[in-house]
Structure 1
Amino acid sequence: MTVQGAERTVLGRAADIMAAFNDGRQVLSLGDLCERTRLPKSTLHRLADQLCGVGWIERDPGGYRVGLRMFELGNLAATGSRLQEAALPHLQALSARTGMAAQLGVLDRAEVVYLERVTAGPLRLPTRRGGRKPAHCTALGKALSAFDDDAVDGVLDAPMPRRTERTITDPLQLRSELQQVRELGVAFDRGEGYEGLGCVAVPVHDGDRVVAAVSVTGPLGQLRWAALAEAVQGTAAAVRNANRRVGVPGQRRTQPSLCQ
């Protein structure tokens, strides 16, 4: 859970603490933080007090939670993302058309970072805006990494934990899957990340680079794969055109009704 490559300075340790709040759990006990950061309890307690003082985390009856100051800063970052702003109306249209959740993600090393998410109806997803998921078991991750050899190597070299019985954990099999994504221009997740959920994703290109990917997610039994792939391809093209109109340079961070 620690920040890769961060020196064990005060700043690096503080970053480790903040990175511990990345799996959707809103409250972590001191013991949870110790386990996730591997910091001595005395050091962790002192740094937690300092982070509380600046509003990065807050005390809770069950331990600690992310503070309002981080929420404010995070929203400033999200609001400042012209790519996100360009994509939002098209994601809303895709979600309304399919009755499913539409998402926009980027690749950071071997993880997908969710820039935006639009849901429809009662569907609830285990993802959130600003959250992260491993690239190997998500359609977004496959679409984001398949078109860049360095990104492919980064995903294959990273741990590939099994999330469901359908998760691809063999590097050779995943490499073959990513080659198919490159050939087809569409990535699929057939219950590999979460039981009962499927996903279709398409990359958003800026010239010869992939700067983001768009996906639609819903219950496996309601997915019409070909129709959804066509819809997501149209949305990715619309996001690409909107992105160009607002003049976003596009940066890739490397490891450097269609329902039944």
Structure 2
Amino acid sequence: MRATAIPPEHTNPPHPAGPSPGSEQQTAVDKALVLLKSLAEHDREVGVSELARRACLTKSTAFRLLGILQRNELVERVGSNYRLGAQLFDIGNRVYGPTPPLLQEWLLPHLADLYELTHETVHLAVLHGTEIVYVNKIHGHRAARSPSRIGARLPAYCTAVGKALLAFDHDAAEAAIEAGLPALTEYTLTDADRLRAELRRIRRDGIAYDRQEATLGLICVAVPVMGPLGRPVAALSVAGADHRFAPSRYADALRRVAYEAARAVVAARARGALPSGRGGQPEA
């Protein structure tokens, strides 16, 4: 029986509920975090009165906490308004360990090569647990609607980059299956045996597909970037709208670019320019 699709925003398990804004249980840390989240929802500077209103704080409390955040470079003051600070960017880059930012730097030229060969949306992603993290993305004027953005996470089992990585990581694949395979669309593989068979095919052929499994209307094709010991350190993909995108057309370009990218990773590791490991995890 076909699984019922659920909206993408409901695919991740909810975080434990914290104190509601303005409640007596809120600590100063809670209130400061609410202010940061409120700032993150805007693409412009915001005044203290509006931030206090959105965070359900008094203006004096918001002003005091913003001063503390400013001293720690987590927010910046622009006139009488505030915006997120550069220190948050540095902290965010370390969320998944040291390897993804370095991979982003080393593999960017290869991602650019892939874009030049395809002129479609191209991605670089790494595996983090049972999810994939997009560490780079290039798109042109024909970009298809996609949930991908730099820093975004998606379940690995329903994306081409994710399946390309799970195929070579048995423990992560089984953990994803054990956690459940909810349907993001009507095309998502939700049967464990079918997913295992798909991963076996990917290990054999070296190429993975997402045929509207993560987002309706989006087709992707991906290959792993292999590192030392035959383990992938990342995956590259090409994506496009289903009504015009033929994924097999880009398979050869993906394989060529991934081969050159793998050579660059191995050479960088040999020189000590890249630490060993996958996604910041030590190499076995």
Give the TM-score range, shorter chain: 0.7 to 0.9
Taking a change above 3 Å as real, the CA distance of residues 255 and 79 of structure 1, as seen in their structure-2 partners, is closer
Deviation, structure 1 residue 85: 1.6
Residue 110 of structure 1 is matched in structure 2 by 130
Name the SS for the 1:113 alignment partner: strand
Note if contact 1:78-1:115 (Cα within 8 Å) is conserved in structure 2: no
**Aligned residue number for residue 155 of structure 2:** 134
- The equivalent position to 1:205 in structure 2, one of 226, 234, 247, is 226
Return the letter of the residue paired with 1:244.
V
Q: 2:87 maps to which residue?
A: 69
Between 1:167-176 and 1:49-58, the stretch displaced more is 49-58
Structure 1 segments unaligned to the other structure (5+ residues): 4-9, 34-40, 59-63
Tell me the distance in 1 between the aligned counterparts of 2:266 and 2:258: 12
How far 1:190 sits from its partner (Å)? Answer: 0.4
Show structure 2 runs of 5+ residues with no match.
1-13, 17-26, 43-50, 77-81
Q: Secondary structure at the match of 1:123?
A: coil
**Whole-angstrom distance in 2 between the partners of 1:108 and 1:165:** 25
CA RMSD of aligned residues (A): 4.1
- Following superposition, the deviation at residue 226 of structure 1 comes to 2.2
Pick which of 93-102 and 241-250 moved more. 241-250
Per-residue deviation, 1:80 = 8.1
The count of residues paired between Structure 1 and Structure 2 equals 233
Pick aligned residue for 1:220 from 221, 242, 252: 242
Q: What TM-score do the two structures reach when normalised by structure 1?
A: 0.72
Q: Once the 2 structures are TM-superposed, how far is the Cα of residue 227 of structure 1 from its aligned partner?
A: 2.3
- What is the CA distance between 1:56 and its match in structure 2? 4.2
* Residue in 1 that maps onto 2:101: 81
Give how far 1:68 is off: 4.4
**1:153 is aligned with what amino acid?**
E
TM-score, with length taken from structure 2: 0.67
Say if 2:224 and 2:235, in contact at 8 Å, map to a contact too: yes
For 2:202, the equivalent position in structure 1 comes to 181
Aligned mates of 1:65, 1:166 — CA distance in 2: 40
Q: Which residue of structure 1 lines up, in the alignment, with residue 278 of structure 2?
A: 252
The question of whether the paired residues in 2 share the 8 Å contact of 1:109 and 1:254 is answered with no
Structure 2 vs 1, CA of residues 153 and 51 (structure 1 numbering), >3 Å: closer, same or farther?
farther
Q: Distance in 1 between matches of 2:163 and 2:34?
A: 29
Residue aligning to 1:2: 15
In structure 1, give the amino acid aligned to 2:256.
G
Shift in Å at residue 139 of structure 1? 0.4
1:155 to 164, 176, 181: 176
Residues 158-198 of structure 1 deviation map (CA, whole Å, 9 limit, x = unaligned):
24332111111222221121111111110000011111111
**Greater Cα shift, 181-190 or 165-174:** 165-174
Query: Structure 1 residues 150, 91: CA separation in 2 closer, same or farther (over 3 Å shift)?
Result: same
Alpha-carbon displacement from aligned partner over 1:1-39 (angstroms, at most 9, x marks no partner)? 439xxxxxx9x989x989x89xxx836x99x99xxxxxx
- List aligned pairs for 1:35-46, cutoff 5 A: none
Offset at 1:252?
A: 2.1
